[in-house]
Amino acid sequence: MENIFNLGIIGAGPAGYSAAIRAVQKGLSVVLFEKESIGGVCLNKGCIPTKTILHCTDFYKSLKKAGKFGINLGKENPEADYEKIFNRKNEIVIKLQKSLTKLVQSYNVKIVNAEASFVDSNKIFAGDVTYQCDNIIIATGAKPAQLTGIQTDGQFILNSDDLLNLNNLPQNILIIGSGAIGTEWARIFSALEKNVTVAEIADSLLPAADTDVSKRLERIFKQNKIKFFTGTKIENIAGNSVFFSNGQVLTPDIILCAAGRVPVIPCGLEFVRDGSFIKVNDNFQTNFSNIFAVGDINGKLLLAHSAIHQAISVVDFIVDKKPVCFDKNKIPSVIYGKPEISMVGKTEQMLYDTDYKVSVFPVSALGKAFADDELDGFVKVLSVDNKITGAHIICPGASSLIHQFALMIDNELKTDDILNTVFAHPSYSEAVFESILGLDGMSLSLPKV
């Protein structure tokens, strides 16, 4: 039959298209449903457009200190044209959409551009057609959450989706939430000489991060003239006036609500929930054994690369009955901007009741950092029983460096074995080597205590 498939996938974001490609590679017939644009939130409303804008603003910041590197740009100071930045962002997204569509089509995946709903546990209805599938993967992702009493309107109170549709930015911006989204947009606004205030209800910025990372981010915010309140919530919004629990009153031009995301769940079946997310077992099966939920929709870790890993593992489970191996403590996360922030494994506060070692190596001890004039940051490493259990990095290239630690944690490498690896000089990777040496007080680039 024309509309019978081994696997149906709802949602063509990173999890969905990765699952589709993997499944075809494993010999399955696949139908992929997407009601909007292929690539999901990551490509269209998240990772790629935001990082494109961030790269532009980071480049702008670098240009402004070109004289320090002996480069004369002339008498006129460089200026940022946000409309051009906005257009570049759109061009890149469109190019990647086309490229990704061709990639998926090259695997003979049937793509259905329509909203999908369940008829039963084996049937999906989309575009006036019913599709029968032996197994189904839900990969519909998540959308910005609405805070109680603070409803986004797309004009004064915006979510991250709304913000990406603005081709010019106002001067005064309030950001609610200091997670990855809030922190990255604060850096963008600051780089473009906007007045930025971040309000965080928790007692620290990036509340899920290691305490040393949170403290250093506070310093970075201050250096970049980003104002922030912690342990603070909004009491009331009247007109354009925002009243805070700490007594402060602000009148921003816009408010960015960057305080979490909620799952997008297809209609037609009742799934057991874990809070608002779909509850899954260790193999990501829902309460229907042939229906799996991967990525943001299960709430385990709202990151694109986590979703991809889950999707690939689930396909391998469907085809080979190979149990899924997923440990969110082994998955790195990154906050982009200057300098980058990355982390993997446990934080120090998670290890307070454990016999652990900690080492913090400052980037400013590296010759490479002086050559680049990038002296702010550190590499912090935690170990238990001579094995790395956590790493937290603030420095250029942190998004790449963190994978060295991820490999160490995933393979349970002993620190003595790691130190047999030769790290190139001059490089930021030397900080990885030095931080591990520092676990036993043996760093070669820090003065004797």
Whether 55 is catalytic is no
- Listed in order, the ranges of the chain carrying CATH 3.30.390.30 are 330-440
Going residue by residue through the chain (449 aa), what tens digit of pLDDT does each one get? 589 999 999 999 999 999 999 999 999 999 999 999 999 999 999 999 999 999 999 999 999 999 899 998 877 788 999 999 999 999 999 999 999 999 999 999 999 999 999 999 999 999 999 999 999 999 999 999 888 878 888 899 999 999 999 999 999 999 999 999 999 999 999 999 999 999 999 999 999 999 999 999 999 999 999 999 999 999 999 999 999 999 999 999 999 999 889 999 999 999 999 999 999 999 999 999 999 999 999 999 999 999 999 999 999 999 999 999 999 999 999 999 999 999 999 999 999 999 999 999 999 999 999 999 999 999 999 999 999 999 999 999 999 999 999 999 999 999 999 999 999 999 999 999 999 999 999 999 999 88
Nearest by Cα to 358 from 430, 415, 436: 436
Out of 3.90.1150.10, 2.40.50.180, 3.30.390.30, 3.10.20.30, which CATH number does the structure's domain 330-440 have? 3.30.390.30
CB contact at 8 A, 379 and 361 = yes
CA distance 310 to 304: 10
- Listed in order, the ranges of the chain carrying CATH 3.50.50.60 are 4-143+262-326, 157-257
- pLDDT the model gives residue 1: 54
Would you state the torsion angle of the CA atoms of residues 366, 370, 374, 378, taken in this order, to the nearest 10 degrees? 20
* Assigned CATH class of 157-257: alpha beta
- pLDDT the model gives residue 9: 98
Q: One of 55, 309, 392, 425 is an active-site residue; which one? A: 425
What fold does the segment set 4-143+262-326 form as a domain?
FAD/NAD(P)-binding domain (3.50.50)
pTM for the full predicted model? 0.95
CA distance 140 to 219: 37
Tokens of 91: 């061009």
- HSE-CB for 107 with a 13 A CA cutoff: 22
CA-CA-CA-CA torsion sign (113, 114, 117, 120) = negative
Which residues does 327 contact at the CB level (< 8 Å), separation at least 6?
none
Angle at 303 between CA 268 and CA 100, to 5 degrees: 80
Chain centroid to Cα 324, Å, comes to 22
